[in-house]
Amino acid sequence: MTRILSRKHFLGAAALAATTLLLPTWAQAQAGGYPARPIRLVVPFAPGGNTDILARMVGQGLTESLGQPVVVDNVSGANGSIGASRVASSAADGYTLLFGTAGTQAINQSLYKNLGEKNLDDFEYVAMVTSIPNVLVVNDTKGAPKTVAELAASEKARREGLNYGSPGTGSTVHLSGELFKTATKLNLVHVPYKGSSLALTDLMGGQIDFIFENVTPALPFIQGGKLRALAVTSAERIPVLPNVPTMKELGYANFVTATWNGVLAPKGTPAAIVKRLEEATLKVAASPEFKERVTALGGEVKPLAGPAFRDFTRSEYRHWGAIIKDAGVPRQ
């Protein structure tokens, strides 16, 4: 039997159908109009470090590509977790982004008890752009160790242990020191500082014995003859320090550590906006000028699209989690 719709039911059904048909068009229009205002790129560390420097380079490139200002906002604290949490709780509209690091995305989850977010699932992964290894440096004075083997021997000769610095607990600098301690069974004492500059100043002043510092802040002092580079933690030697061996070359087979950076958005950001940001970010990473500047800082351009970036982060989470567990680093 044929059912005859009332005018009320007919109009309701027609409205529902029209709405359904318009949904994709509306979503596309929203993405098509993006961005319509400035974008905030949160750097979860203080100004001046390698993360801040790289973020400003990426922000400049995104500004040119997207046609709207990308403003860097430094929100530091708790190894980057404060800034990361703030982005995770922001509106998922593409106007607040995170310049994430190994610390915020792969280390803090194993180190801090009360994170506001778990980081692995509370973000949309836009794209990864760079990787910067660490370099083992000592004070370049007469009698200072010239090799990693001499550094290890100096600890045994002194019988009082060696002190190593870092810009803070949970940084890749700190955990590289802990990995070295686990691998060598040496008596090493961690001395955390509030930033790389203070730690490097004390290293040059003789207050601490060595640092596995990120290449970027250490490089000017190496090139200026104030610090001596004994090894890098990359898988292969790096162009700015071609004569410095890798830890792998020296017999530390699994000693590959680096900090890395990528762009992330709050969970739930529309897929079309994430895709637009991904394309723009990878375009910046592919720029010859960007590659040249990153290489000069001692880093490597390592572009990964969103899905590959997400998978890489999970791999790094397992990697750093194992280092933390094996070294017995207490949860904060």
**CATH number assigned to the domain comprising residue 156:** 3.40.190.10
Query: Does any domain span residue 8?
Result: no
- Same domain, residue pair 144 and 85: no
In a domain, 125, yes or no: yes
pLDDT reading at 300 higher than 90: yes
Residue range(s) defining the domain that contains residue 169: 133-232
| Mean pLDDT within 187-216 | 94
Considering the domain architecture, whether residues 323 and 310 belong to the same structural domain is answered as: yes
Could you list the beta-strand ranges (E) of 248-308. 258-266, 300-305
| Same-domain pairing of 42 and 114 | yes
The reply to whether 190 falls in a domain is: yes
pLDDT of residue 30: 52
pTM of the model: 0.86
Q: In this structure, are 165 and 305 located in the same domain? A: no
- Residue 27, pLDDT > 80, answer no
Q: Is residue 119 located within the same domain as residue 265?
A: yes
> Is the same domain home to 137 and 225?
yes
Of residues 56, 61, 48, the one with CA closest to residue 289:
61
Give the pLDDT confidence score for residue 31 in this predicted structure: 57
Q: Are residues 227 and 137 part of one domain?
A: yes
- For the chain, give the percent of residues with pLDDT over 70: 89
| Domains: count for the chain | 2
Which region, left, alpha or beta, applies to residue 176 given φ > 0 means left and ψ of -120 to 50 means alpha? Answer: alpha
Contact 41, 63 (CB under 8 A): no
Cα–Cα distance between 214 and 205 in angstroms, integer?
Answer: 19
* Amino acid at site 38: P
Question: What whole-number distance in Å separates Cα of residue 222 and Cα of residue 145?
Answer: 14
120 and 148 inside one domain:
no
Q: Are strands 162-166 and 188-192 parallel, antiparallel or unpaired?
A: parallel
What integer is the mean pLDDT of 127-135? Answer: 97
Domain-ending residue, one of 169, 197, 232: 232
Does one domain contain both 105 and 65? Answer: yes
Give me the mean pLDDT over the 230-248 stretch: 96
Within a domain: residue 112? Answer: yes
If asked whether residues 141 and 99 sit together in one domain, one would say no
Half-sphere exposure of 166 toward its Cβ, with a 13 Å CA cutoff? 19
Interval 92-108: pLDDT, tens: 999 999 999 999 999 99
- Beta strand pairing status for 123-139 and 96-101? unpaired
3-class secondary structure, 129 = strand
Looking up tokens 């930033």 gives: 195
Q: What average pLDDT does range 15-36 have in this prediction?
A: 56
Q: pLDDT tens across 47-96, in order?
A: 888 899 999 999 999 999 999 999 999 998 888 999 999 999 999 999 99
The count of other CB atoms within 10 Å of the CB of residue 330 is 8
Q: CA-to-CA distance for 42 and 316, rounded, in angstroms?
A: 21
Would you place residue 158 in the very low, low, confident or very high pLDDT band (cuts 50, 70, 90)? confident
pLDDT at 201 over 90: yes
The reply to whether 198 falls in a domain is yes
Q: How far apart are CA 95 and CA 259, in angstroms?
A: 25
The pLDDT, as a whole number, for residue 254 is 87
The answer on 228 and 140 residing in a single domain is: yes
CATH classification at residue 93: 3.40.190.150
What does the pLDDT average to over 13-42? 64
Residues 272-294 have pLDDT tens digits of 999 999 999 999 999 999 999 99
125 lies in the same domain as 267: yes
pLDDT surpasses 90 at 257:
yes
CB atoms within 10 A of CB 65: 18
